[in-house]
Amino acid sequence: MRERSCDIAVIGAGTAGLAAFHAARDGGADAVLIEAGPGGTTCARVGCMPSKLLITAANAAHAARHAETFGIAAGPVRVDGRRVMARVRRERDRFVAGVREGVDALPAGARIAGRARFTGPDTLAVDDHTALRFRAAIVATGSSPAVPEPLRDLGDRLLTSDTVFEIPDLPDSLAVLGGGAVGLELAQAMARLGVSVTLFDPGTHLAALRDDGLAETARQLFGAEMTLRLGCTVTEGERDRAGVRLTWTDASGATRTDTFACVLAAAGRPPNVRHLGLDAAGLALDAHGLPDFDARSLLCRGGPVLIAGDANADRPVLHEAARQGRIAGANAARLVASGRDAVEAPRRWTNLAMVFTEPQAASVGTPYDPADATLVLGTVDFGDQGRARIMAENAGALRLHADRSGTLRGAEMLGPACEHLAQFLALAIADGLTAQDLLDRPFYHPTVEEGLKTALVAIVAGLDP
Ligand SMILES: Cc1cc2nc3c(=O)[nH]c(=O)nc-3n(C[C@H](O)[C@H](O)[C@H](O)COP(=O)(O)OP(=O)(O)OC[C@H]3O[C@@H](n4cnc5c(N)ncnc54)[C@H](O)[C@@H]3O)c2cc1C
């Protein structure tokens, strides 16, 4: 074993780890970056970017099929699955190459290839070739797709987001397990590309929507494009000649079976902390093996270890991974230079999460709590919203909530242009604006954004005089 020492060991060269590494070096620390996998980041290689490439192809097919709405005959639409997947990979590879160039430009001595695990409170082993002593460590190991037990022996008929973008051609049929952001985005994309999709979820609310009304609209809209098996739990999966035979228990408790060409497991992404030896690092761990950490400083209780990005399972989205990485890297440098008291705890960003389906779903700010009687609500229904009708995307709604002073707190939505509405509201909430503040600002016409005024007016009207 080669022996080395450094100020800061960063475990994982994903979005969070790379940001942490740069911030630690900017803070004057001698940082080392350890990566076990192919690199390129989950976002660029198997996450945000390839999924959005697939979705864009699918939406192009969908738009061509539905051009009749506008009096345009596009003719029969033929999807060439091989070409669709080839473009996804080609464009994806450009994003990955950009990340890799950045990593390759780092000093060779600052990078170690291999899988790290803690061997003590200030030591790590990387595979069986390097023993690394550190003064602070940053866990930025990301998360991986969960594969439910019944699907474990399906061989190449089992897909996850790690493998689905590598398939040479589209399957005839696909069972998707999981109706959250990853599962629903990929399910709708596959359906629009002509794959017969069945989506299973033990819950009833797709896209992590909390609002019962929005969840019902989601079931209607997505159910028109794929078979929904909600309230269903898959209990068995077996390979057969046609593909995979799945058995599940439905909402009434009955046992049912069907056969699919492939299965996509999108039933959550547990953080990659199981084989890290966090107990050897002396950290206090919860029942899931996750360290007790402060969500603002990202410092763990019990040792000079910080945890950032999907690894801490707090807000598993890209912009949070990047920011948390920067905070963890800067704090690790402060810790090494001046001790734990020097660590800073910046204010958290406004929560923001999106699902890139059509219609899009998003949540922003604090989640709506129906039990909180102090909240004032405003709704815009997209059914009759001007721009939404122009685009023939007039379905769904946005529910906004504010406190008694009219200060905007959060929103949940399902509808057109939600990526823009949610982004817009995230800035307003972060700036502490009230509903009236926002109404006093310009809204261009005819935009989907101007629909927000309906919800804002309702909030102002609902405030105590
Ligand atoms: C299909 C899909 C679509 C998504 N779409 C979006 C989206 O549209 N918008 C959005 O905001 N987010 C999206 N996400 C989530 C987003 O990709 C993640 O939140 C983000 O990439 C997490 O970054 P990270 O740095 O925490 O982890 P990663 O980028 O996964 O980096 C972790 C790194 O740690 C390495 N590693 C793990 N264990 C070890 C070890 N023991 N030793 C050394 N190295 C190790 C891994 O190999 C990996 O390279 C999507 C995710 C998926 C899967």
DSSP-derived pairing of the beta strands 123-126 and 116-120? antiparallel
> Best mutation site among 41, 54, 141, 349 for ligand 1, i.e. most ligand atoms within 8 A of its Cβ?
141
Query: Is residue 248 a contact partner of residue 199, using CB atoms and an 8 Å limit?
Result: no
Q: Which tokens belong to 453?
A: 């005024």
How far apart CA 389 and CA 107 sit, in angstroms, is: 55
The DSSP code for 237 is: E
**Using a 6 Å CB cutoff, which residues line ligand 1?**
11-17, 34-37, 39, 41-43, 47-48, 51, 115-116, 140-142, 161, 182, 272, 276, 309-311, 316-319, 321, 356
Q: Which tokens belong to 436?
A: 């009236």
| C-alpha of residue 407 to centroid of ligand 1, in Å | 34
Phi and psi of 73, rounded to 5°? -95, 110
Residue nearest to atom 2 of ligand 1 (CA): 47
Phi and psi of 410, rounded to 5°? -175, 170
Q: What pLDDT is stored for residue 257 in this prediction?
A: 97
Q: What pLDDT is stored for residue 465 in this prediction?
A: 80
Helix (H) or strand (E) holding 2, with range, is strand 2-5
How far apart CA 140 and CA 307 sit, in angstroms, is: 6
Closest CA relative to residue 406, chosen from 430, 381, 383, 429: 429
Closest CA relative to residue 181, chosen from 371, 393, 422, 451: 422
Provide CB contacts within 8 A for 355, sequence distance 6+: 181, 184, 185, 207, 208, 361, 362
How far apart CA 193 and CA 58 sit, in angstroms, is: 5
The DSSP code for 292 is: P
| C-alpha of residue 43 to centroid of ligand 1, in Å | 6
How far apart CA 31 and CA 418 sit, in angstroms, is: 40
Cis peptide before 150 (omega within 30 of 0): no
DSSP-derived pairing of the beta strands 233-240 and 243-249? antiparallel
> Best mutation site among 21, 49, 264, 317 for ligand 1, i.e. most ligand atoms within 8 A of its Cβ?
317
The CA-atom distances, in angstroms, between 301 and each of 295, 304, 312, 347 are 11, 8, 13, 19
**Per-residue pLDDT in tens (0 to 9) along the chain, 465 residues:** 999 999 999 999 999 999 999 999 999 999 999 999 999 999 999 999 999 999 999 999 999 999 999 999 999 999 999 999 999 999 999 999 999 999 999 999 999 999 999 999 999 999 999 999 999 999 999 999 999 999 999 999 999 999 999 999 999 999 999 999 999 999 999 999 999 999 999 999 999 999 999 999 999 999 999 999 999 999 999 999 889 999 999 999 999 999 999 999 999 999 999 999 999 999 989 999 999 999 999 999 999 999 999 999 999 999 999 999 999 999 999 999 999 999 999 999 999 999 999 999 999 999 988 899 999 999 999 999 999 999 999 999 999 999 999 999 999 999 999 999 999 999 999 999 999 999 999 999 999 999 999 999 999 999 988
The DSSP code for 242 is: T
Cα angle for residues 441, 439, 447 (degrees, 5° grid): 75
- For the entire predicted model, the pTM comes to 0.97
| End-to-end C-alpha distance for the chain, whole angstroms | 73
Q: What order do you get walking across the sheet with 262-265 strand by strand?
A: 158-159, 262-265, 173-177, 196-201, 227-230
| C-alpha of residue 47 to centroid of ligand 1, in Å | 7
How far apart CA 117 and CA 377 sit, in angstroms, is: 48
Residue 3 in 3-state DSSP?
strand
Residue nearest to atom 23 of ligand 1 (CA): 15
Query: Is residue 179 a contact partner of residue 202, using CB atoms and an 8 Å limit?
Result: no
How far apart CA 46 and CA 9 sit, in angstroms, is: 25
| C-alpha of residue 90 to centroid of ligand 1, in Å | 20
Cα atoms in the 13 Å half-sphere on the side-chain side of 65: 14
Token pair 């069986």 in the structure block, residue: 128
Q: What is the chain's percent helix, strand, coil content, to nearest 5?
A: 35, 25, 40
| C-alpha of residue 425 to centroid of ligand 1, in Å | 26
Closest CA relative to residue 93, chosen from 82, 101, 83, 105: 101
Q: In a 10 Å sphere around its CB, with 0-12 CB exposed, 13-18 middle and 19+ buried, how is residue 344 labelled?
A: exposed
